[in-house]
Chains A and B, each alone.
Chain A
Amino acid sequence: AQKVTQAQTEISVVEKEDVTLDCVYETRDTTYYLFWYKQPPSGELVFLIRRNSFDEQNEISGRYSWNFQKSTSSFNFTITASQVVDSAVYFCALSEKNNNAGNMLTFGGGTRLMVKP
C-alpha cells in the first residue's frame, strides 16, 4: 500500500529565510508519480509540481526547488527567500501507475508553513 509522510506538521520562519519541507513516501511500484500542492488560507489546492519515478533530476522554478531521491524515498521541497505569501499548508502526494485508480492520489498530512514578516 502507498503511504506519504510529512513529519513536519508546522514550520514557522521569518521572511527571507530558506525553508525545506520534507516528504517521505512508501510504494511497492517501480512506476509512480509524486506531487506537491499548496493550500493557501482561501482553501483551494494549487498544483505545484508532478514528477515521475524515472526522473530524478532536481527541479527549480523561481524560488521553489524540489529534491527527489529514490534511494531515501524522499521528495523534499525548498522555498528560497520565503515570503509572507508563501504561508499555506503544503501537501505532498503519491500516485501509483499500476493501480486501477489512475490519478488516485495518496496525500500526506500536510505541513503548515507560517512566514512572518
Chain B
Amino acid sequence: DSGVTQTPKHLITATGQRVTLRCSPRSGDLSVYWYQQSLDQGLQFLIQYYNGEERAKGNILERFSAQQFPDLHSELNLSSLELGDSALYFCASSVGPGTNTGELFFGEGSRLTVL
C-alpha cells in the first residue's frame, strides 16, 4: 500500500460526458501528479501540483483540468470525453516539488472506460 488513495477505481461512462477523478496523497506529501496510461501512448505525465499551485504541465488536453485543494487532495476533471480517453489514470505524490526531494509513490489508478 503506497498510501496514495484514488477514487473511483473503475468508471464507465459515455462519450461527451464529464467525470472527476479524486486523489488523496500520502500523509505529509505536498506534491501531487497525474499520469495517464493508455495502450496507444503508454505512461504519460499530465500535470503536477505542489502545495495547491500548478507546478508543471505535460501532455494534458485542454478538455482536462485539475486542481489541488487546501487539504492537498487533488481532482482531475475530464470533459467532453472521447473513446480515446479510455485509460488508467494514476495519481502520485511526493514530499517536495522536485525529483531530488523524495520518491514518487503511485496510487492504484482509476480505470476509465468511455463507451
Chain A interface residues toward B at CB < 8 A = 33, 35, 37, 42-47, 50, 52, 91, 93, 95-97, 99-107, 109-110
In contact, B108 and A44 (Cβ under 8 angstroms) = yes
Can you spell out 6 A-B residue pairs with CB atoms less than 8 angstroms apart? Answer: A50-B103, A97-B98, A99-B56, A103-B48, A103-B98, A103-B104
In contact, A43 and B94 (Cβ under 8 angstroms) = no
What is the total number of residues of chain B having a CB less than 8 Å from a CB of chain A? 32
Q: Which residues of A contact B15 (CB under 8 A)?
A: none
In contact, B99 and A103 (Cβ under 8 angstroms) = yes
Q: Which residues of A contact B111 (CB under 8 A)?
A: 43
Q: Which residues of A contact B42 (CB under 8 A)?
A: 107, 109-110
The reply to whether the CB of B52 lies closer than 8 angstroms to some CB of chain A is no
In contact, B99 and A33 (Cβ under 8 angstroms) = yes
Q: Which residues of B contact A104 (CB under 8 A)?
A: 33, 45, 48, 56, 58
In contact, B99 and A47 (Cβ under 8 angstroms) = no
Q: Which residues of A contact B38 (CB under 8 A)?
A: none
In contact, B103 and A102 (Cβ under 8 angstroms) = no
Chain B interface residues toward A at CB < 8 A = 2, 31, 33, 35, 42-45, 48, 50, 55-58, 88, 90, 92, 94, 96-101, 103-109, 111
* Contacts A107-B42, A110-B43 supplied; 13 other A-B pairs, CB < 8 Å: A33-B100, A44-B108, A46-B106, A52-B100, A101-B45, A101-B56, A102-B31, A102-B50, A103-B92, A103-B97, A103-B99, A105-B104, A107-B43
In contact, B104 and A101 (Cβ under 8 angstroms) = no
In contact, A102 and B55 (Cβ under 8 angstroms) = yes
Smallest CB-CB A-B distances: 5 pairs: A101-B56, A45-B106, A107-B43, A102-B98, A95-B99
Q: Which residues of B contact A106 (CB under 8 A)?
A: 45
Q: Which residue of B has the minimal Cβ distance to A106?
A: B45
Q: Which residues of A contact B58 (CB under 8 A)?
A: 101, 104
